[in-house]
Structure 1
Amino acid sequence: MRNITLFLMLGSTLFAGGYKIPETSLNSVALSSANVAHAFGADAAYYNPANMAFMRDENIVEADFMYIGLSDVGYKGSYTTAFGTTTGYDIESKKENFFVPSLHYVSQNISGVRFGLSVVSPAGLSKRWDSAPAIYSAEEFTLKTVEVNPSVAFAVGDKAAIAVGLRAIYSEGIVKSTSAIASRDMDGDSIDFGYNLALSCKPTSELDLALTYRSKVDLSLKGDAALSYRDVTNVFGGGASSVYASQSSASVSVPVPALLNIAAAYTFATKTTMEFVYERNYWHSYRELDFNYGSGVNPATNIVFGAPIAKNWKDTNVFRLGITQKLDKLTLMGGLVIDETPAPTSTIGFELPDSDSVSVSFGTRYQINEKINIGLGALYSMRDERAVSNSAINGEFEDSNVLIISSALEYKF
């Protein structure tokens, strides 16, 4: 896979329901991403660019640096191979630690228009195992993304604003799997496009309403694969096995789902703001995981690794609550999110043992002077144990919890 020299080639990781990553700024971490209707910092460029039209006439830029830690996921249960052999296992995945930067910018008013730019990671996963049977399909399963999201906003009267943006997503993927009869080492990358829309309304000075939509983006990764297959037909008859190895072009498509947010925030006289966000993720577009290889691949190898893998994911609901308390130079934040998994039990695999989750968060910002503020926030996601029973897996995944710590520097000029 081609080396990426940009520092924003993020070590993305599995976090939200599915492989979507909603936390890309300090406020989003501290508020559990309940920062849509009342997003008035630099990260409004990403979470609700329509709000840029209501912000003070100044340039704002924010640099964020985030740590993400994944616990090792445990699996206890049995696994049935394609040959019908069933064996019991008690294994754990590797722990994962990542450092993820992001950038947000909102321009000053330029002829009645505000411009925004965000550079973030909207999706990703990384799951690595070093024990059978997980290595048969997910010795390593990694997806990295970087999204460049420019946007433009303008007011419609005194109480409403609209915005439109372009999504340009660069993605890289690695898939490694090893079994007694076959192995695969594949990598690829792509650049794909989508769009986002936002509408904001301020019926009163205390009430903020918002509707945002991010389009689906199909990540159409293309690259190379090293494949091998051991023909064991003769081994059972006392003969020698034959090994077929090949290098091939490879491609696979993975969707970043469309996303709808409906949000409302109210600010009380005590400078306390409460925001509720209903989020709908349109995961139904993820029907299957289909790897395609070029000519020259041994037919048996293609049967092992080329057959489409059913996913049949469902649309999900997410509920987010955020509370912000402004003091003199200090701002306190807290949040709660209830997130559904889109993955049905029938298609759960070792590459993405997802489950429902509840997350809590908190954070603070400190205003150093009129131009600079700094902040720190944390989010802890507690994922449910997941009992799985399908054609291959009959057991339970557990301990897939996540810790996020975010720091930020915001500058106004």
Structure 2
Amino acid sequence: MKKTAFLSLVTASILMAGGYKIPETSTNSVALGGANVAHTKNADAAYDNPANMIFMEDAQHIEADLMYVGLSSTNFKGTYAKTLTGAEELNSEKQTFILPSLHYVSPKLGENGVRVGLSITVPAGLSRQWEEGSAKLVSQEFTLKIVEVSPSVAYKITDTLAFAFGFRAVHTNGVVKSSESAIVNASPLATSYISRDLEGSSLDFGYNLALAYHPTKALELAATYRSNVNLTVEGSAVLSSTAALGGAIPAGSYSGEASVSIPLPATLMLAGAYTFEKTKTTVELVYEKTYWSAYKSLDFEYDGSLTNPVLIAAFDNPKPKNWKDTNTFRLGITQELDRVTLRAGAIYDNTPTPESTLNFESPGSNAYSFSFGGRYQIDDKIDVGLSALYSIKKDRTVTTPTNINGLDGTFSNSRALLVSAGLGYKF
């Protein structure tokens, strides 16, 4: 149970369908629903498609963004077989977060016009809290913070084709807590109360590749690939168990090292954008493949002093996940006016979580998202932007014995609101 909590944390996207990944890392990206891969003119190109830095205006570009994330209260109606409490109606806690990001693109360097970019973003993370009933046993609190630093270099291959590569330095910090939890043994019927408190962190590395091809002034094509990063989280854990039924289940405790490896999955994006010159309207379509199948199980490791059978059963056995690769489809529309640029987007996103392993910490389901925003050019150097995205997860019903965690019921009312404000400057 503890393992499940921590990993789901690392991989879930702010209550959207796609696990724990957050693809919208700038004001423009929020406005377009992430459909700003082929057509990018601002400093956030350093993250979304660094190859496009070659085609940007020859100047230094910098942008700072601040994003508000609001998560609704997810509702569950049904039963959790491991507690034998019968039918319940539970609600997770509403939560809000503030996520900053920073993007920079250099001017052209050298005769070949090489450009360098840097992005500091929050590309993934999750926090979910259940303070009621059975859900509290599994996931009272999951909090995961991920910060990525992404330097990149772009090269011009021809006047219409550019290539970029970069590195991913990903820092992870996570907390998993639960108050006393009940384990029910059918024979003999007994309950042992256990608690868990885990904190860990890691610094891990990957890479990213990007292509930008502009065969005509109106048509822009792009492909990007961000590698898998295994988050090798290491930290400390405190586990404890009380005796039950006169010692039929032994008491015990553990305080020591804990570690786990969790995948931040690879992502492939293929995008095409077309600009209608007369109206200055750009339409972009993006296909995104996320390789969530790398998340096969959640297995925490402890040192050799963990010997209590109750704690081993609860926390030291691998938890199968068996997530699947997902497809996401993004549509973005950009309308340029005199000093104002308007943007809108729509997303359809698959969930990677199969019914068999779904649990309270990551009740994923397919989602629809809609977005809108704009930027205002104050003068030749400064612009400001504001955007919002609203995500609606479909209700999802799970049943036993299909669900190995013992869930039988429906998750509903999962929503997320993103609001981002940005300030851009070029010099």
1:246 alignment partner AA: Y
Amino acid at match of 1:264: G
Rounded Cα–Cα distance in structure 1 between residues aligned with 2:206 and 2:384 = 32
> What amino acid maps onto 2:157 in structure 1?
V
Residue type of the alignment partner of 1:44? A
**Deviation sequence 1:298-333 (CA, Å, 0-9, x none):** 331122111111110000000000000000000000
1:9 aligns with none
State the alpha-carbon separation in 1 of the partners of residues 98 and 17 from structure 2: 17
Partners of 1:231 and 1:253 in 2: CA distance: 32
Q: Structure 2 counterpart of 1:411, which letter? A: Y
Offset from partner CA, 1:222-279 (integer Å, 9 cap, x none): 000010012325367xxxx753222110111211110000000000021000000000
- The reply on whether 1:261 has 2:261 as its aligned counterpart is no
**Alpha-carbon deviation of 1:295?**
2.1
Q: Which amino acid aligns with 1:87?
A: G
Distance in 2, matches of 1:372 and 1:325, equals: 19
* 2:71 paired residue number: 70
Q: Give, in angstroms, the shift of residue 340 of structure 1.
A: 0.3
Which residue among 193, 198, 205 is the counterpart of 1:186?
Answer: 198
CA 1:154–1:63 in 2, change beyond 3 Å: closer, same or farther?
A: same
Q: Distance in 2 between matches of 1:308 and 1:14?
A: 25
Q: Match for 1:203: what amino acid?
A: P
RMSD between superposed Cα atoms in Å: 1.3
Contact conserved, 1:76 with 1:89, CA < 8 A, in 2?
yes
Matched pairs, number: 396
For residues 245 and 219 of structure 2, what CA distance do their matches in structure 1 show?
71
Match of residue 363 from structure 2:
353
| Alpha-carbon distance change, 16 to 53 in structure 1, aligned in 2, over 3 angstroms | farther
Paired AA for residue 192 in structure 1: D
Question: Which residue in the other structure is 2:228 paired with?
Answer: 216
Q: Which residue number corresponds to residue 4 of structure 2? A: none
Do structure 1's residue 110 and structure 2's residue 136 form an aligned pair? no
Q: Deviations over 1:124-169 (max 9, x none)?
A: 1111111121121211112110000000001111110000000000
C-alpha contact 1:185 1:225 (8 A) present in aligned 2: yes
CA offset at residue 294 of structure 1?
1.5
1:22 aligns with 23
Give me the whole-angstrom Cα distance separating, in 2, the residues matched to 1:230 and 1:252. Answer: 26
Contact 1:121 1:146 in 2 (8 A): yes
What's the CA shift for 1:25?
A: 0.1
Corresponding residue of 1:8: none
2:325 aligns to what? 315
| 2:391 and 2:417 in contact (8 A); partners too | yes
Q: What SS does the aligned partner of 1:276 have?
A: strand
> SS state of the match for residue 354, structure 1?
coil
In the aligned structure 1, how far is the partner of 2:263 from the partner of 2:250? 37
* Contact 2:16/2:367 (8 A) holds in 1: no
Report whether the alignment pairs 1:387 with 2:400.
Answer: no
Once residues 297 and 15 of structure 2 are traced to their aligned partners in structure 1, the CA distance between those partners, rounded to angstroms, is 18
CA distance in 2, matches of 1:66, 1:102: 8
Aligned equivalents of 1:219 and 1:235: distance in 2?
A: 39
Question: What are the within-5 Å matches in structure 2 for residues 239-388 of structure 1?
Answer: 243-269=251-277, 270-300=279-309, 301-388=311-398
| Superposition TM-score, scaled by structure 1 size | 0.94
Match of 2:6 in 1: none
Structure 1 residue aligned with 2:9: none
The answer for the alignment partner of 1:199 in structure 2 is 211
Q: Percent identity?
A: 53
Q: 1:293 Cα deviation (Å)?
A: 1.3
Counterpart of 1:179, as a letter, is: S
Specify every segment of 5 or more residues in structure 2 that has no aligned partner in the other structure, as ranges: 1-12, 183-192
- State the TM-score, normalized to the length of structure 2: 0.91
Q: Give the aligned residue type for 1:205.
A: K
What is the one-letter code of the residue matched to 1:137?
V
Q: Distance in 1 between matches of 2:232 and 2:245?
A: 36
Structure 1 regions of 5+ residues with no counterpart?
1-11
Match of 2:189 in 1: none
Secondary structure at the aligned position of 1:347 is classed as coil
Letter in 1 for 2:142: F
Deviations 1:24-71 (A, max 9, x none): 100100000000000121000000000001111100000000000000
Residue 406 of structure 1 aligns with which residue? Answer: 420
Q: What are the equivalent positions in structure 2 for 1:128-139 lying under 5 Å apart?
A: 128-139=129-140
Contact kept in structure 2, 1:14 and 1:21, CA below 8 Å:
no
